[in-house]
Amino acid sequence: MYIALGVIVTGLLVLVGIYNSMVSKRNGVKSGFANIDVELKRRFDLIPNLVETAKRYMGHESSTLTAVVSARSDAMSTLAALRQQPFDEKLLSKLGDAEQRLSQSLFSFKAIAESYPQLKADGTMLKLMGELADTENRIAFSRQNYNDLVMSYNTSLEVFPNVFFAKVFNFSSAPSWVIEKAEEREAPKVSFG
């Protein structure tokens, strides 16, 4: 009788441990996404200041400035939708596309800004460009961390005996942050000095 009770209690403790581990890893993925969210917001907040500073020097380059602002807006709205459904692979892919457009518009902006010596020498512009470069590095680190957390979480859903409990408790895999376009894999080469 005590042996049977001991086996049942041990089985329940194992089940609770497995469940808690999967919940912990799922929350880690959500936290990893939240870190990307924070860094993207930081970049989104820098862009209007960058555009305003550049307007003083690049008034006739309004199409480039408008493209940056538009790409920022698209990325922000996609990120807002993804916050509501962080495990939605289509939304994550859509955010990747929006981020790609934003990166391309920023690259174009930086390339055109090269031809404005006063802009390159502006202290505010230099500070903003430095902060933007730092933010891009932080975004890359956050994405790498997120993918590591996703790999750990998804693996925990696929190993035995977790695979059975994952189905019972409706745990679904999380999408990795994947760069789908080859051109995004290449670092843009822009110099401000």
Angle at 148 between CA 19 and CA 89, to 5 degrees: 80
Q: Using CB atoms within 10 A of its CB, is residue 125 exposed (0-12), middle (13-18) or buried (19+)?
A: buried
* Tokens 């596309």 -> residue: 97
- What number of CA atoms fall less than 13 Å from residue 84's CA on the CB side? 6
Q: What does the pLDDT profile of the chain (193 residues) look like in tens digits?
A: 889 889 999 999 999 999 999 999 999 999 999 999 999 999 999 999 888 888 877 776 788 888 999 999 999 999 999 999 888 999 999 998 999 999 899 988 888 888 888 877 788 888 888 899 899 999 999 999 999 999 999 999 999 999 988 988 999 999 998 866 544 445 444 444 4
Q: How far apart are CA 25 and CA 35, in angstroms?
A: 15
